[in-house]
Amino acid sequence: MDDLYRELIIDRYKNPQFRGELDPHNFTFEDDNPYCGDHIRVDVRVDDNDVVIEAAYSGEGCSISQASADLLIEFIHGKTLDEVKALTKDDLLELLGIDLGPVRLKCALLSLKVLKAGAYGLGKDEVSDDLVE
Amino acid sequence: MDDLYRELIIDRYKNPQFRGELDPHNFTFEDDNPYCGDHIRVDVRVDDNDVVIEAAYSGEGCSISQASADLLIEFIHGKTLDEVKALTKDDLLELLGIDLGPVRLKCALLSLKVLKAGAYGLGKDEVSDDLVE
Amino acid sequence: MAITDYSIAAFDIQKIWADFPILSREVHPGVPLIYLDSTATSQKPLQVIAAMDEFYRRSNANIHRGIHALAEESTAAYESARERIAAFIGAATPREVIFTRNTTESINLVTQSWGRANLNPGDVVILTEMEHHSNLVPWQMLAQERSLRLEFIPVTGDGLLDLDEYARLLTLDPKMVAFTHMSNVLGTINPATEIIRMAHEIGALTLVDGAQSVPHLPVDVQALDADFVAFSAHKMLGPSGIGILYGRKALLEAMPPFLGGGDMIKRVELRSFQSNALPYKFEAGTPAIAEAIGFGSAVDYLADLGMEAVEQHERQIITYALERLEEIPGVKVFGPAAEHRGGVASFTLPEAHAHDISQILDADGIAVRAGHHCAMPLHTKFGIPATARASFYIYNTLEEVDRLVDGIYKVKQLFA
Amino acid sequence: MAITDYSIAAFDIQKIWADFPILSREVHPGVPLIYLDSTATSQKPLQVIAAMDEFYRRSNANIHRGIHALAEESTAAYESARERIAAFIGAATPREVIFTRNTTESINLVTQSWGRANLNPGDVVILTEMEHHSNLVPWQMLAQERSLRLEFIPVTGDGLLDLDEYARLLTLDPKMVAFTHMSNVLGTINPATEIIRMAHEIGALTLVDGAQSVPHLPVDVQALDADFVAFSAHKMLGPSGIGILYGRKALLEAMPPFLGGGDMIKRVELRSFQSNALPYKFEAGTPAIAEAIGFGSAVDYLADLGMEAVEQHERQIITYALERLEEIPGVKVFGPAAEHRGGVASFTLPEAHAHDISQILDADGIAVRAGHHCAMPLHTKFGIPATARASFYIYNTLEEVDRLVDGIYKVKQLFA
Ligand SMILES: Cc1ncc(COP(=O)(O)O)c(C=O)c1O
Ligand SMILES: Cc1ncc(COP(=O)(O)O)c(C=O)c1O
């Protein structure tokens, strides 16, 4: 196991910086990972140019899912909605900076999936792993 | 391959000694081996003490099925019906005197199955491999 | 890990370790493997690996129809494996032993062949709340297709089946009671003989999910009086890709075929076919030949150890493991006391998610599973999304339990 | 046998022989193996045997749910095999590639999942008279359950499909055309692209039984434009116990699940479940993990040789074999001229039954198959109960053909 895991992930898990809910928001979305019960909700506020000015996440689950969400929300501040929609799995993994096996990958990608589904304005049934592949 | 195979089996196949049909007979039965199309019919005549006094077989198929039938029919002359019913796989294999793999075994046992089904007076649907196991 | 623990007398652990090459492996540089995930799948001894290797190097041929030497050797080896497996579970005849892919397929064979032929709208099937998805979903699929009513024997707070409620459910006149002999989450060993006796008294048939019991306990299908028993080779030292459905001959004979194709037929015309005799009627197409042979080798290995000794060994480990786990502050172990369970301990920690527990333990080479273990309804019932599960088999030692406990303390420290 | 024949330039036969340990075996004392039964099952190269061996010795764990190192290695190896197989057949995505037990199960998956969901009484399904039982019986079972009408493309005297009659059958508005790409008896390579194009023109779907084509010819599922393709690992250098169903993503997504259980679900409650995404929806229970890995190794081996080279090699052998067989008095070879067939020659002799031919040849170490080769209706059509079948693969040589011919002369002499 990577030391980064201990430092970055566990630190962010224990001391989240973007945990919370936003009201009002321009969009919100939530979903869970049925394999492990991880749950993530994101709330995003954008300005007139569709630039993210404030965002937050809430939910529960393992350290990877929660810390990924925290890092992702930090990252999208100042990004346009189009930039958010264009985010990929690799972008998120770069943020995390650690190697993940296939199962933990699903934990890590949950927040990105939820965020992109919200950004695209998808319905609950339209969410699929294709969003993050 | 056993030399006996060449000598005994092929000889009996080429020069059968009990090939034919009997009319009248006390019982007759026929069946085939669906795996290879071998077909055997046996006709048996017994005396008042249920001793086999004459018997014959007919049919077509591989050398093992036909030669086994020929040897079996030879063997049951003078046997009682009860003795015929009591015949086993091992009795037949002793007659043949060679080792057989599982597929050829089915060829060899066809005549015994037909004979015993006839001796027991079974219907066509009642024949099963249990007769020769 | 080095084996310095010889306190377990049921058999010679050092000899066993020598048979399992993977146990000497380092999972990370300098970090040896401590494999505590045998409930998901067991490791394989050299004897099993070699049997399959040897088959491919020397005898490999397709079976049943061939006359040449290789085909005969292969057929004989395949059928000999069936005979040894039949003897291992005490089947009356090898014809009652059907090769499938796994426990899951075995159960689907019953729901789709026996179930479709025998169950009608409104018929009741009894399951339990502790079933693996493999003994739930096939019945749900059939229930939807046939409008069946599914009822569930509840699980008590300490992880046992509520047999009073079972007795009450039996008054619904169920046609089938399908239950796991041993829970893969709680470790609970259910009183199978009694459950079956009660079912038979009111005329219901029984299906035993033996995926966890056949590998870990002495199981005699005739002593149990079970109608169907399903299990998988990969959980009992054997290869992946093969499992067994045991069924009573008379039941199997009356059932329609499951899959159609080569080998399961006696005769085929363009628009009709006649089924083959047992067991071939249920083995369509080229079977898992090498895997059957490996499976035969696996039951030889277990029979040599003796299933009583296997059970005793695991009872010792789980007794110790429960003791040690319960002394860790905050650890909650699900399931009954050691005398009612096999070698499975599923637990949670208040400070860390099961995934995190598993990942941190992995850094020390300790392989445990984390998740719902294919038993979501049971986890829902206990109000938890996931547990971490340590499970034990013939090659595990008390010392490995100590390492697990050390690892859990590390997790607690990291997440404190 | 000693290899003195280097006349075949498609690839280095000596190198190939070194990869197949079984080919150096003596079947009887002093009698080396001449394996001419690859249509039943192929032999396996060391690379495939070693991949599985290595998996069990180093990485074995259950897949998909595990976080520990072994589970991750196993999952990665299993999914990498799927990707390489998908690439080998030109699938658009690995999600279209479903692991099954064999060709037979793949076809049953289509009849039982797609068929039950899409076919109604009176619907027409077109098959051919040269189908293997595996592509007949599943349709017969469904036809009986759903009152379907089965129609058959006739086989001409020289073993080709009668495409004029096919065109006429298409006016019956069939929903499905299911046919073998290559006959395992006649060796006929059917014009799959044309058959599929004609089916699609009238809106029918197609299922290609690729059990013999995928091992022996370059097959690109997208170039074929096939809707479903079924094949088995064991016929293409891979292990027993694993096969593939390829299906178009949109079709597979719309289909209901086939078997229920672990891994094929997303979410389970006591009385309901939600199916998983492709390909997992159709892979219930612990799959054949080691076998998938072995299969991946097998397609690597074939891809390295190049399927054009494989086809060319077999074309050379079958051309020579037909020439040599036809010069033997009384030998009747069924099927078309060499340019329409793969490496399969089924034949009869007037003096000896196919079983006797096979048994006498076996004494010289020559493994050929005898029987109806799971194609009874085709044999019925030709009015023969059984044929002897010699079949060829990458490791066979022209010299082995000569030995076969010598053996047949011996049979003739014995039965003269
Ligand atoms: C054309 C054809 N289809 C289907 C099959 C069945 O393959 P399996 O037994 O691997 O399911 C075979 C194998 O003999 C075959 O040759
Ligand atoms: C109790 C129980 N039933 C069924 C299964 C399913 O076994 P398989 O995946 O081999 O079909 C398992 C395996 O996890 C199990 O533990």
pLDDT at A4: 60
Q: What pLDDT is attached to residue B128?
A: 83
pLDDT digits (tens, 9 = 90+) for D34-63: 999 999 999 999 999 999 999 999 999 999
CA–CA gap between residue C105 and residue C284 (Å, rounded): 13
What band does A5 get if pLDDT is binned at 50, 70 and 90?
confident
Band of the pLDDT at B2, cuts 50, 70, 90? low
Q: What is the pLDDT of residues A20-46, one digit of tens each?
A: 999 999 999 999 887 778 999 999 999
What ligand 1 atom has the least distance to the C-alpha of D374?
14
The pLDDT of D265-274, averaged and rounded, is 94
Q: What angle do CA C106, C111, C113 make, to 5 degrees?
A: 90
Is residue A6 a contact partner of residue A95, using CB atoms and an 8 Å limit? no
φ and ψ at C96, to 5 degrees?
-85, 0
| Segment A104-117, tens digit of pLDDT | 889 999 999 999 99
Peptide bond into D239 cis (omega under 30): no
**Measured distance between the N- and C-terminal CA atoms of chain B, rounded to whole angstroms:** 24
- Distance CA(D89)–CA(D332), nearest Å, equals 35
Looking at residue A37, its pLDDT comes to: 80
Q: Position C100: which residue type?
A: T
Report d(CA B13, CA D356) in Å as an integer: 11
Region B69-84 average pLDDT:
97
Q: Is the CB of C262 under 6 A from ligand 1?
A: yes
pLDDT at B55: 97
CA distances from D139 to B51, C160, D115 (A): 51, 45, 9
CATH of C49-304, one of 1.20.1440.230, 3.40.640.10, 1.10.10.10, 3.40.50.12780: 3.40.640.10
Calculate how close chain D gets to C34, using CA atoms only, in Å: 11
pLDDT tens for residues B40-53? 999 999 999 999 99
Where chain C has pLDDT below 50, the residues are: 1-6
CA distance C170 to D310: 62
| pLDDT value, residue D1 | 39
Strand partners, C149: C124
* SS3 (DSSP) at D101: coil
Q: How many other CB atoms are found less than 10 A from the CB of residue B123? A: 7
Collapse the DSSP code of C410 into the 3-class scheme (helix H, G, I; strand E, B; otherwise coil) and give the result: helix
Asked whether A and B share 3 or more beta-carbon pairs under 8 angstroms, the answer is: no
ipTM: 0.95
CA distance to B94, C306, D415, per residue, from B2 (Å): 14, 41, 16
* CA–CA dist A48, A66 (Å, integer): 29
Q: Give me the helix-helix angle, D163-170 and D192-201, nearest 10°.
A: 20
Please give the pLDDT value at position C37. Answer: 98
User: pLDDT class for B99, splitting at 50, 70, 90?
Assistant: confident
One-character DSSP codes across C206-230: EEEE-TTHHHHS---HHHHT-SEEE
B38, B59 in Cβ contact below 8 A?
Answer: yes
DSSP C233: G
Give the model's pLDDT for residue A2.
Answer: 56
Task: State the residue for tokens 């077909």.
Answer: B39
Give a three-class secondary structure readout of chain A.
CCHHHHHHHHHHHHCCCCECCCCCCCEEEEEEECCCCEEEEEEEEECCCCEEEEEEEEEECCHHHHHHHHHHHHHHCCCEHHHHHCCCHHHHHHHHCCCCCHHHHHHHHHHHHHHHHHHHCCCHHHCCHHHHC
If one counts every other C-beta atom within 10 angstroms of the C-beta of residue C153, the result is 24
- Tell me the backbone φ, ψ of residue D245, rounded to 5 degrees: -115, 115
Q: What is the pLDDT of residue A101?
A: 83
Q: Which tokens in the block code for residue C379? A: 């986890």
Sign of the CA dihedral with C287 first, then C290, C296, and C302 last: negative
Instruction: Name the phi and psi angles at B60, rounded to 5.
Output: -150, 160
CB-based contact, B130 to chain C, within 8 Å: no
Q: What's the pLDDT score for residue D71? A: 95
Question: Which has the closest alpha carbon to A40: A76, A67, A79?
Answer: A67
At residue D4 the predicted structure's pLDDT band, cuts being 50, 70 and 90, is very low
CB-CB neighbors (< 8 A) of B35 in chain D: 371-372
Q: Which of D67, D266, D267 sits opposite A101 (nearest CB)?
A: D67
Three-state SS across C97-144? Answer: EEEECCHHHHHHHHHHHHHHHHCCCCCEEEEECCCCHHHCHHHHHHHH
Residue D205: alpha-carbon gap to chain centroid: 20
- Say which of D374, D376, D398, D405 is annotated catalytic: D374
| Domain A2-132 is found in CATH 3.10.20.90 | no
Q: What backbone phi and psi angles, to 5 degrees, belong to B59?
A: 140, -165
Strand partners of residue D34: D366
pLDDT digits (tens, 9 = 90+) for A46-84: 999 999 999 999 999 999 999 999 999 999 999 999 999
Please answer whether residues C281 and D141 qualify as being in contact, where contact means their C-beta atoms are separated by less than 8 angstroms.
no
pLDDT at C11: 86
Atom of ligand 1 nearest to the CA of D184: 16
Adjacency order of strands within the sheet including B27-33: B27-33, B38-46, B52-60
For residue D231, the cross-strand partners are D244
pLDDT of residue C3: 41
Instruction: Say how far apart CA B88 and CA B84 lie, in whole Å.
Output: 9
Chains contacting D with at least 3 CB pairs below 8 Å? Answer: A, B, C
> Which of C64, C286, C289, C291 best tests ligand 1's pocket when mutated (most atoms within 8 Å of CB)?
C286
The secondary structure of residue C255, as a DSSP letter, is: S
**pLDDT (0 to 100) of residue D2:** 38
Q: Alpha-carbon distance D215 to D236, whole Å?
A: 5
Q: How far is the CA of D284 from the centre of ligand 2 (A)?
A: 10
Backbone angles phi, psi at C407, to 5 degrees: -60, -40
Bond prior to C279 in cis (omega within 30° of 0) = yes
Contact D297, D51 (CB under 8 A): yes
CA dihedral C30, C35, C40, C46 (to 10 degrees): 90
- The answer on pLDDT for D3 being more than 50 is no
Using CB atoms, pick whichever of C362, C385, C386 lies closest to residue A1. Answer: C362
Distance between CA atoms of residues C319 and C219, nearest Å? 21
Whose CA is closest to C138, among C167, C171, C193, C176?
C176
- The count of CB pairs under 8 A between chains B and C is 24
Domain C13-38+306-414 has CATH 3.90.1150.10: yes
Atom of ligand 2 nearest to the CA of C232: 10
**Best of C59, C64, C65, C67 to disrupt the B interface by mutation (most B CBs within 10 Å)?**
C67
Q: Is D127 helix (H, G, I), strand (E, B) or coil?
A: strand
pLDDT at D9: 65
User: Is residue D374 flagged as an active site residue?
Assistant: yes
First to last CA, chain A: 24
3-state SS class at D261: coil
- Enumerate neighbours of C (3 or more CB pairs within 8 A): A, B, D
Domain-wise residue ranges, chain C = 13-38+306-414, 49-304
DSSP, collapsed to helix, strand or coil, labels residue D35 as strand
Give the residue among A98, A57, A50, A58 at the shortest CA–CA distance from A74: A57
Q: Can you say whether residue C30 is alpha, beta or left, with left for phi > 0 and alpha for psi between -120 and 50 degrees?
A: left
Are the beta carbons of D211 and D235 closer than 8 angstroms?
yes
Q: Is the CB of residue B130 less than 8 Å from the CB of residue B107? A: no
Decide if D30 contacts D336 (C-beta within 8 A): no
Average pLDDT of chain B to the nearest whole number: 91
pLDDT digits 0-9 by tens, D180-233: 999 999 999 999 999 999 999 999 999 999 999 999 999 999 999 999 999 999
Strand partners of residue D341: D188
Residues with CB under 6 A from ligand 2: C 102-104, 132, 134-135, 180, 184, 209, 211-212, 232, 243, 374; D 262, 285-286
Question: What mean pLDDT is predicted for residues D165-180?
Answer: 98
Residue D8's pLDDT is what? Answer: 58
Contact D134, C261 (CB under 8 A): yes
Strand partners, A40: A31, A59
Distance CA B95, CA B109 (A): 12
CB A84 within 8 A of CB A76: yes
Which of A1, A61, A104 is nearest residue C363 as measured by Cβ atoms?
A: A1
Amino acid identity of residue D281, one-letter, is K
On whether the CB atoms of residues C348 and C387 are closer than 8 A, the answer is yes
Q: Residue A118 and residue B125: Cα distance in Å, rounded? A: 68
The CA distance from C258 to C373, in Å, is 28
